Amino acid sequence: MNVTLPQRHGIDLTVAAPPSKSFTHRALIAGALARGTSTILHPLASDDTNLTITALRRLGVPVKADAHSVTIEGCDGAFSCPPGTVIDLDNSGTSLRLLASIALLSDHPVTLTGSGRMQERPVGPLADALVALGGRIVFGQEPGFPPVTIGGRLEGGNATIDGSASSQFISSILMAAPYAKRGVTLSVSGTPASQSYLDITAGVMTDFGAVIRREGYRRFEVSNQDHYTGHTYVIEGDYSSASYFFALAAICGGRVTVTGLNPASVQGDRLFPDALQKMGCRVTRAHDGITVTHEGPLSGITIDMSSAPDTVQTLCMVAAMAKTPTVITGIGHLKFKESDRLAGTVRRLRQLGGVANTGSDRIVIQPAPLHGGTIDPANDHRIAMSFAVLGLGIGGVSITGAECVNKSFPGFWDTLAGVME
């Protein structure tokens, strides 16, 4: 599927935020581990979350899904699957990493694998911590990378983990920890990437009945006496997906309102409208949504985006339209996403006439006249969506393989259709 973006000015749009992918993954796993029935309302139905649902079914958990809800009959921390079970998570890093720890709760070893790119994404730090907690880990090809076979039992105790490449390593262990034979104390070395996602994990766990004590992002203690309890859980709107529409107002001019966002959310990407405000947009918040209004020329900013990784590329698109340089820091871990998002963003901006450079943990974007061109997102959904927004600002930009947005936002192109007409 190829999509060509026409140039548009003066946007006036109101959209509802799609459900959060991060909350959906975690609620599905907590519900699967819980005692009793859970109903997940307003879940995100996407390629990634469907992979998590399929994996839970392979682990023996009954899951029924429709357009509005998911019903899960929890296993109370004891999965049952046949010997030799192999679960292909395709390109969903979140699914594979979060499932890695709970695989220790299965009655047989489980092999987790995925796409070619998935097999380039590291899981070594997570595997080392799981071994310390009782796991037996065998890598099928290259040590530290999928495919990986996970056996043994989650004994619990103390472990140390390096979360600098991904906070999902930490989240994975925390989500399984209530079912360890002993309580789990997890110490974190280095500075965890995307710290706000650990707040999401802790929040979902607590909502399902787990008990966690923590020292910031450095130390977590999880009780094994307080298991998850099935209940009804409502998924909140996603700030990451909302960012594309906020950016539309900044890039194309006009006004965009996104409804269905929790003003008290712990999502790190909730800071994206504030970044646009610093660049010169007007941001207003009401009980029914957030509105971003273009107020004139955009100015570049210097900003640390370490806790808002999924909106970095969106901000890069706005920065490419600004009158002064932008420096985005704290983003070295983006090299390990669905693609190397640091190098990939710079390379594609240059294809459209942009001036951008990358360092070990930063992107610097300079003002430059932009032009149309063809962008191949290489199956990275966030590249496709962010460059689509920029394409509407400059016109003549074609996105190839545009269906990759189904990974996190299947309705993206339908939502943009009214703007593109």
Maximum alpha-carbon separation in the chain: 62
Contacts of residue 359, Cβ cutoff 8 Å, sequence gap at least 6: none
List alpha helices for 261-311, DSSP H: 272-279
β-strands 148-152, 110-113 pairing: antiparallel
Going from the C-alpha of 74 to that of each of 77, 247, 394, the distances in angstroms are 8, 40, 50
Give, in order, the Cα–Cα distances in Å from 241 to each of 125, 222, 386: 29, 31, 10
Q: Are strands 184-189 and 157-162 parallel, antiparallel or unpaired?
A: parallel
Query: If you count them, how many residues does the chain have?
Result: 421
Listed in sequence order, the DSSP H helices in 208-311 are 239-252, 272-279
Q: Which two tokens stand for residue 44?
A: 């995100």
340 is catalytic: no
Nearest CA-CA partner of 269 in 296, 297, 303: 303
Asked if residues 170 and 185 have their Cβ atoms less than 8 Å apart, the reply is no
Q: In what order do the strands lie in the sheet with 289-293?
A: 11-16, 254-259, 289-293, 282-286
Alpha-carbon gap, residue 391 to 47, rounded angstroms? 25
Contact 150, 135 (CB under 8 A): yes
Q: d(Cα 386, Cα 224) in Å, to the nearest integer?
A: 42
Catalytic residue among 48, 162, 310, 380: 310
**Distance (Å, whole) CA 376 – CA 263:** 35
Neighbouring CB atoms inside 10 A of 302's CB total: 12
Contact residues for 421 (Cβ-Cβ < 8 A; gap 6+) = none
Catalytic center residues: 310
